[in-house]
Amino acid sequence: MAEVHPSAVVDERAKIAHDVRIGPYAVVGEGVELACGVEVGAHAVLTGRTAIGSRTRIHPGCAIGGEPQIRGAREGAALAIGEDNEIREFAVIHAGSPPGGCTRIGDGNYLMNHVHVAHDCRIGSHCVLASYTALAGHARIDDHAVTGAFTGVHQWSRIGESAFTAANTMVSMDVPPFTRAAGDRARLVGLNALGLSRRGIGADAVAALRHAYHLLFQSKLRLATALERVRRECGAVPEVERLLRFITESERGSVR
């Protein structure tokens, strides 16, 4: 049977697994679904069409599933949060914009205190968003990315797989996979060697990424020429292929 503190307010229409734990003064609305092992801390507020996956922990004071901050919105569309996430104190995650929008967060992420995730954002899996990271609407964070404290991400911008942003970075263009970015506005400052090491990316792949990084971002080659050289010289390496695809598919343009 779910463990619900007597002071918590849980709508009878909410769907709650048998072993969910809900702390003092928490609020769980009618459209909320909590899977096995979810923990909801004191004073957290969960509303809207919000589904939260198994073993995700929501710390005190979070506001999850509220309506998007857009003019005319009276309710949100949907919010889907995966399994094994840690959402720390006072984080705010908004539902997608109506009609039909959905904010999505994958598995195994760590969102630190006061993180803000706006409507229709996409966060992959195994990401770390440090304190006060703020994602504007439709921003996208790919798997294994890390954002430093006070990182700001512009609407529709994307931070690629295993990319890293330093504290106070302002992201207005796309940050390519496997890179490090810093500054206002963000500029590339190198390959994310530490992130690659922590993921267990092999030495050959790292060497290929270093060569690709040099050609794409440090040489004086025109971008089209650099892309062609990278494809020819190391494009068969899966990580390099993903880097190339990210750059060529970018709609906002990539940070350099």
Catalytic residue IDs = 119-120, 137
Element (H, E) at 246: helix 238-249
Is the Cβ–Cβ distance between 131 and 148 less than 8 Å? no
Helices (H) and strands (E) in the chain, counts: 4, 28
Backbone dihedral region of 190: left (phi > 0), alpha (psi from -120 to 50 degrees) or beta?
left
Work out the angle at residue 103's Cα, subtended by the Cα atoms of residues 133 and 107, and round it to the nearest 5 degrees: 75
In terms of Cβ atoms closer than 10 Å to its own Cβ (0-12, 13-18, 19+), residue 179 is: buried
- Tell me whether strands 122-123 and 57-58 are parallel, antiparallel or unpaired: unpaired
* CA–CA gap between residue 247 and residue 210 (Å, rounded): 16
* Residues with Cβ within 8 Å of residue 232, at least 6 apart in sequence: none
